A and B are shown apart, each in its own frame.
Chain A
Amino acid sequence: MLNEVVIRVAGRAGDGSYSTCGILSKVAQRMGYHVFEHREVHSNIQGLPTAFTARISSMPRHGLSDELDGLVCFDGDGLSHASQIRSGGFLLYDSSQKNPAPHGKNTMLSDEEKRAFEERGVMVFQAPFADMAKERLHNQVMRNTIALGVVAELLSIPSALFTEFIRKEYGGKKKGEEIVAGNLAAYNLGVELKRANNWQLQDEKSLELQGDSGRLLILGNETIAFGALVGGCRGFAGYPITPASEIFEFMMKHMRKFGGVAVQADSEIAAISMVVGMAHAGLRAMTGTSGPGLSLMQEAFSGAGMIEVPIVIANVQRGGPSTGLPTRNSQEDLQEVIYGGHGEFPRIVIVPATPEEGFLFGALAFNLAEKFQCAVFILTEKEFGQSRYTMNEIPFEGVSIDRGKIFDPAGAEEYKRYEHTEDGVSPRVFPGTPGMTSMSSTTEHDEHGYATEDVASRNAIVEKRMRKEKTAQESGLLPAAVLESNGARIGIISFGSTYGPIEDAREFLGEEAPDFLRLRTVWPFPAEEVKEFVEAHDRVLVVECNYAGQLARLIQQEVTGPSPRIISVRKYDGRPLKPREIIEAVLATDAKEGV
């Protein structure tokens, strides 16, 4: 039977509420549950409202639910989330007057406000957590842990699990023992508070120990970085940018141990050029970036396309254009990764939606890049990259390494860096290979790499380069679209992290659920799979997080032409897509006449 509890902690940036939610997630993971942990923050270090959500479930989840079972709310601003609390759920509210949250708006909930909640079945548990923390523990930050104690007790989670993680989370820090002792005291205060007030959930929701699963709890960004490392990535250069920095930080931490090199570059332009240099020298190399950084790299993408060096770029999308919404979700860069850069050159764009895919695509990208000697983009978004997921295990068995065509200097053949081959792929040679030399150039060149503007040569080499895209498409190596079908008349096509809410919406709709085609390669465009799917459905909702309906346009451009069957469902407010939004779009579509 499905058991699921969704708890949100609404606080202020820098106030420890992320740790509060994080400990809850870790405890649930340890208890054997699947966890999807979501972060919603401002582009700010301290002071602005934040919300962290742990969706704890007996089955894997890949997005937020519409409703919350509980909201832990540290000041008045957090009440903006209260409308999402389900009937039967609870609001745990910090009513501290003497020690309000920094920049917070704490007020006591009036009897009238409380009644409004209670009328729709929401239990209100109100206490001055920060005042208690300040008075009893001389540290108002401990209010987080008092609240955690209440939540644990409400959900009947064994205390020992929490105290273990409090030790783990804070023990290693400066003054660790002092902090651990304070937090343990705070936790017990919370437990006592709950008991003293006899706070109870109406429907006795609880989390029972499922047994330690050995699962990992890992950020989407970290799955990509881990996958890349296992896929043989030994070169990384990056520049800090939200929401991609965790890929960079993972590489800076671990790369050296594996005999690779990871560099903090002077800009995204330097980063991508370093990646090109590493790749040219023979390392599997990548960078991770987001919108503004991706734009700075465009010239180098063209350069890499021309010089045929295999590079991997993880683009973790955020709200744009420009500085835009650095910490918020979007899928606005689809067109940029497909069309960006000047001139024409082949590229591959793959899109993960689950932690397993993050890992496997992180590794696969290097095989694709080296086999087809082109840029491979791992297109993802804040919603995937900065959410934490439980993963049963690291699928090492899914990774193999194929470095593509490498020239054998022992053979009798003359080496030509850009030799015209049937599949468009010319053997590479790594600098330093004895007895050889080679020329690689961004200037249009002949087979040997030397500049030429000869018409026949130009035509031949353009065709050679572009041929690689077809070779890639026909290779069977690109991740195929995932089809979930029960013969519905309505279909959904989407990509990336919209997977979670679509999955939830389909579950809710049950027998009325639309079919679903989830694209995992968006370039070369999977025209055959999309064509077949569109033709099999009366209406196709194309769900994406951008204003222009970029995927809907792409489908019409590449497959259907302008089509009344295609219904574009878009969201561009920077917030995650909700199951309800998809359900509503499906129901609205269902009401229409067939085409």
Chain B
Amino acid sequence: MEANKRTMEDYASRETPVWCPGCGDAGILAAVKRICVDLEIDPSRLAVVTGIGCSSKISEYLNCYGFHWLHGRLLPVAMAVHAANPNLLVLGMGGDGDGYAIGMEHFIHACRRNPNMTYVVMNNMIYGLTKGQASPTTHQGLVTATTPFGARERPVDGVELALSAGATFIARAFSYNQRELTEILKAAVAHQGFSFVEVLSPCPQYHRESEYEYVRDWYKERIQDIARAWNEMKSAIVDIQTVVPDYDPRDAMRALTVVRKLKEEGKFPTGIIYVQEGVRTFEENHGIDAEHSLVDRDLSVEANRSAYEELIAAYQ
């Protein structure tokens, strides 16, 4: 069996990625292939729905059922694909502009509906493909093509937002940290319900930090493991006598506390931030059997005729 095991190459499409050198998106592509190998995902069971932007090109680079849709609208497509055929492993993938600007409506509603799919926001804090305009996650002060005097508005925090919108799996990873990213993605696809993973994905081309030679260093100073952050926070609380427990991603208030505290410091917690098990999924709420694709139903008039005829009585 081991000999037949798929390799990362089996998940590569015929297309060669055309991302810039150093682009964080390449790390995300590698991690997706890695989890497919590790979880032995059949490519014909993998459906990847993407929006528009550099990151959304990822559906072309994976050997799967790829669907490269419109800017900001990947989530309603992805959740509908999974509802129609729950046998598929559905990944929705797109950028921060896609998900947190034009697609914000769908993000909030996907969180509350809890479809059994994984949504990966590849957050590079910039509009890359349109060549360097500020995005909803651009931090204050960053000079971009559309913020010539530095970005003024406060950035969107997708993790905090997902917490309040009711997402049942929330994580953040850093694209250059492959090991953690891979583990998080594996946990995300295993989660029953909507799993949201924001991956910090540096854009060396347009995310220009004047004091830094490499943008990765800017990130490295700002990312912090959430469990470690909690431990540091709790040790700072000196006047409480009781033992404060370790970080527990099942505790939404604890998650929110750390997320907000680090945000004030301009930092990004990483790791599995929040998990809530047992929430009814979108599919369950619509009576969709996880084992059977709706696509396989017999549509013929004959097969359904008697059930159709039952509807007539209401009009007679």
Interface residues of A (CB under 8 A from B): 214-218, 222, 226, 229-230, 232, 234-235, 237, 254, 256-263, 265-267, 269-271, 273-278, 280-285, 299-300, 303, 307, 391, 394, 396, 399-401, 430-443, 448-451
Contact = CB atoms under 8 A, between A and B. Distances in A.
A283 B44 CA distance: 18
Interface of B: 13-15, 42-47, 49, 52, 57, 59-60, 63-70, 73, 76-81, 83-85, 87-88, 105-106, 108-109, 286-288, 293-295, 297, 299-301, 304-305, 307-309, 311-312, 315-316
10 contacts: A218-B315, A234-B297, A258-B297, A258-B307, A269-B76, A278-B81, A278-B83, A283-B84, A451-B57, A451-B60
A438 B48 CA distance: 11
A216 B315 contact: yes
Given A230-B308, A273-B73, A440-B66, A284 B299 contact: yes
Contact of B80 (A274, A299, A436): A274
A442 B15 CA distance: 16
Contacts of B47: 281, 431-432
Contacts of B42: 434
Nearest to B289: A259
Contact of A226 (B59, B80, B311): B311
A363 to B, nearest CB: 9
Contacts of B46: 437
B105 A270 contact: yes
Contacts of B15: 450-451
A273 B312 contact: no
Contacts of A438: 65-66
B294 A270 contact: no
A394 B88 contact: no
Given A280-B81, A442-B69, A450-B14, 19 more contacts: A215-B316, A234-B294, A235-B84, A261-B286, A270-B76, A277-B79, A277-B84, A281-B80, A281-B84, A281-B85, A285-B80, A396-B301, A431-B81, A432-B44, A437-B43, A441-B68, A442-B68, A448-B14, A451-B57
B81 A449 contact: no
Nearest to A448: B14
A432 B76 contact: no
B302 to A, nearest CB: 9
Contacts of A218: 315
A248 to B, nearest CB: 15
Contacts of B301: 230, 396, 399-401
Contact of B106 (A215, A256, A261, A266): A266
Most buried by B among A234, A283, A430, A450: A283
Given A254-B311, A266-B106, A260 B294 contact: yes
Most buried by B among A254, A267, A432: A432
A83 B37 CA distance: 78
A275 B288 CA distance: 17
A431 B88 contact: yes
B119 to A, nearest CB: 14
Most buried by B among A230, A273, A299, A438: A273
B85 A431 contact: yes
A217 B66 contact: no
B55 to A, nearest CB: 14
B66 A280 contact: no
Nearest to A391: B315
A222 B307 CA distance: 17
B144 to A, nearest CB: 24
Contact of A269 (B73, B84, B297, B307): B73
Nearest to B305: A396
B286 A273 contact: no
Nearest to B297: A259
Given A303-B70, A439-B60, A401 B80 contact: no
A436 B85 CA distance: 16
A507 B61 CA distance: 65
B104 to A, nearest CB: 10
Nearest to B295: A282
Contacts of B78: 277
B70 A440 contact: no
A229 B42 CA distance: 33
B308 A229 contact: yes
A217 B299 contact: no
Q: What 6 pairs across the A-B complex have the smallest Cβ distances?
A: A277-B80, A281-B84, A232-B299, A431-B65, A277-B77, A282-B295
Nearest to A219: B315
Contact of A449 (B49, B66, B77, B79): B66
A437 to B, nearest CB: 5
A439 B69 contact: no
A450 B84 contact: no
Contacts of A265: 76
Contacts of A449: 60, 66
A154 B73 CA distance: 59
Contacts of B295: 281-283, 430, 432
Contacts of A254: 311
Contacts of B312: 216, 394
